[in-house]
Amino acid sequence: MNYVFFSAPGGTLSEDVTPTEFCLFKAQEDIETMQAYAQVFNKLIRRYKYLEKGFEEEIKKLLLFLKGFTESERNKLAMLTGILLANGNLSASILSSLFNENLVKEGVSACFAVKLFKSWLSEKDISSVATSLRKVGMDNRLMELFPANKRSCEHFSKYFTDAGLKEISDFARNQQSIGARKELQKELQEQMARGDPLKDIIAYVREEMKKNNISEQTMIGLIWLSVMSSVEWNKKEELVTEQAIKLLKQYSPLLKAFTSQGLSELTLLLKIQEYCYDNIHFMKAFQKIVVLLYKADVLSEEAILKWYNEGHVTKGKSVFLEQMKKFVEWLKNAEEGKHLTVSFCSVFVSR
């Protein structure tokens, strides 16, 4: 690649050294040629491990001076860098150089990133790329490839989709959605801690759902986790159930507001199942929680039967199905109306 001659004092490009015939920038601009160059670097780094860190630092510096190269030279460097990232010869942390203000402002960073990601994805799938980005905290920084006035999910999505990189577009959109959900859950917990009225919390959640295009199924999962994270749980199993019932009675209107669809009810049942399994003190509380939410019209008979017959997950399956057996049998056979439902549920919850 012969990149050393570019690092002249003051950050200017030195022309004092003549590139060799093997210089990357004199090579053909195609992926096969770049793969051949990548193999050379790969073999060198494997043989001389001490080169690895220095090589990465030099690449970071090189990316800071992309404006000094021609478009073709940048393309070759981007393709090679993408292959080296795919091979594990470089860490995705080098992408931080692309967030340089001048490179971003003139569109050099975004254009370079397109070539880099195309090359990377020609070697690895999007899940591998995503893992590498997450490992160094770059997964939430891709928007920084654009100036502040263009740093939106819509602009990012269009730019990369138009460039034939829908995988990157979808990944960034998903990351933004994850970030929005984390912030929403944090705010929910703060509202609960303050004791805000449920009607205000419900209004806030509905507004956030609409603004961030969050489904009711996703939202009910967030609400469940927020509610269950809003208190310090007792360490004694017999007291945890009582504490959970009291808490869920308080927040059942909030849960009910976001279980208007059968799929949302089933999602909530699965979240309850997973939570009770993952938190061992709740293993015996599952049935009482479900019956309470049935009594509060959060969960319907249809949703509970679907969960019991086919919708459950494997976590604690045998324990929870056994707990629910008598109640499910009653649901299937009950014929005496809602007043019996209420009295029956009262017995189950108070046990």
199 in any annotated domain? no
**Domain of 78, in residue numbers:** 1-148
- Helix, strand, coil in percent for the chain, rounding step 5: 75, 0, 25
Each residue of 315-351: pLDDT tens digit? 999 999 999 999 999 998 874 454 445 555 555 555 4
Residue (of 94, 92, 84, 93) closest to 61 by Cα position: 94
Residues 6+ apart with CB under 8 A from 309: none
153 in any annotated domain? no
pTM above 0.75, yes or no: no
Same domain, 129 and 236: no
190 in any annotated domain? no
Residue (of 218, 179, 225, 223) closest to 202 by Cα position: 223
Final residue before a domain boundary, out of 126, 148, 170? 148
Rounded Cα–Cα distance for residues 278 and 274 (Å): 6
Same domain, 110 and 12: yes
Each residue of 22-62: pLDDT tens digit? 788 888 898 999 999 999 988 988 888 888 888 999 999 99
Rounded Cα–Cα distance for residues 198 and 16 (Å): 72
User: Does residue 148 carry a pLDDT above 80?
Assistant: yes
Residues 6+ apart with CB under 8 A from 274: 313, 315
Final residue before a domain boundary, out of 148, 169, 202? 148
